[in-house]
Amino acid sequence: MNTESPFWIKSSYSNGQGGECVEWAPSQVSATGTVPVRDSKRPTGPTLAVSPRAWAGLVSLARSADV
């Protein structure tokens, strides 16, 4: 990843009750070609890096899921 600390954006599907807290760092996509994803409850924990295509699939799946 880029040496700068990325700016993380919490998913609009994350709720305010501490569940489903997914964040991603869009600024890193152009720098690295991958989409970093993490659990916002564990900001120093592991980060998953997926391709932009995989990220688009995950977003599409979340949008189509019954809530």
User: What torsion, rounded to 10 degrees, do the Cα atoms 21, 8, 50, 47 define?
Assistant: -70
Dist. CA 42–CA 11, nearest whole Å: 15
pLDDT attached to residue 5: 79
pLDDT attached to residue 2: 44
Residue 10 CB coordination number (10 Å): 11
Residue 30 CB coordination number (10 Å): 9
pLDDT tens figures, 7-66? 899 877 666 665 668 899 998 998 899 999 999 888 899 999 999 999 999 889 888 876
